[in-house]
Amino acid sequence: MDNAKKSKTPMSTTTRLDKDEQGKSIDQKLYRSMIDSLLYLAASRLDILFSVCLCARFQACPKESHLHAVKRIFKYLVYTQSLGLWYPRNSTFDLHTYSDANFGGYKVDRKSTSGTCQFLGNMLISWFSKKQNSVALSTTEAEYIAAGSCCAQVMWMKQQLLDYGIIFEKVPIKCDNTSAICLGKNPVHHSRTKDIDIRYHFINDHIERNDVELVFVPTKDQIADIFTKPLDEQSFSRFRMELGLCEID
* Overall average pLDDT of the 238-246 stretch: 93
Instruction: Kindly state whether residues 126 and 24 are assigned to the same domain.
Output: no
| Domain encompassing residue 41 | 1-81
With cut-offs at 50, 70 and 90, classify the pLDDT of residue 88.
confident
Buried b (16+ CB within 10 A) or exposed e, 129-163: bbbbeeebebbbbbbbbbbbbbbebbeebbeeeee
C-alpha to C-alpha distance for 55 and 35, rounded to whole angstroms: 8
Domain-ending residue, one of 50, 81, 112: 81
134 in a domain, yes or no? yes
Q: What pLDDT, on a 0 to 100 scale, did the predictor assign at position 202? A: 83
Instruction: Kindly state whether residues 103 and 149 are assigned to the same domain.
Output: yes
Instruction: Kindly state whether residues 198 and 118 are assigned to the same domain.
Output: yes
Q: Structurally, how many domains does the chain consist of?
A: 2
Higher-confidence residue of 242 and 199: namely: 242
Q: What integer best gives the mean pLDDT of the chain? A: 89
Give the tens place of pLDDT for each residue, 13-49. 998 899 998 999 999 999 999 999 999 999 889 999 9
Per cent of the chain over pLDDT 90 is: 64
Higher-confidence residue of 96 and 190: namely: 96
In this prediction the pTM is 0.90
- DSSP letters for the chain: -TTSPP-SSSS-TT------TTSPB--HHHHHHHHHHHHHHTTT-GGGHHHHHHHHTT-SS-BHHHHHHHHHHHHHHHHTTTEEE---TT----EEEEEEEETT--TTT---EEEEEEEETTEEEEEEEEE-SS--SSHHHHHHHHHHHHHHHHHHHHHHHHTTT----SEEEEES-HHHHHHHH-TT---SSHHHHHHHHHHHHHHHTTSEEEEE--GGG-GGGGGTS---HHHHHHHHHHTTEEE--
Per cent of the chain over pLDDT 70 is: 92
Between 194-208 and 139-162, two packed helices, what is the crossing angle to 10 degrees? Answer: 40
Instruction: Kindly state whether residues 75 and 107 are assigned to the same domain.
Output: no
Instruction: Kindly state whether residues 202 and 100 are assigned to the same domain.
Output: yes
Between 139-162 and 178-185, two packed helices, what is the crossing angle to 10 degrees? Answer: 60
Instruction: Kindly state whether residues 62 and 116 are assigned to the same domain.
Output: no
Decide if pLDDT at 1 tops 70: no
90 in a domain, yes or no? no
Decide if pLDDT at 191 tops 60: no
Number of other residues whose CB lies within 10 A of the CB of residue 189 = 15
Q: What pLDDT, on a 0 to 100 scale, did the predictor assign at position 24? A: 92
Give the tens place of pLDDT for each residue, 125-159. 999 999 998 888 889 889 999 999 999 999 999 99
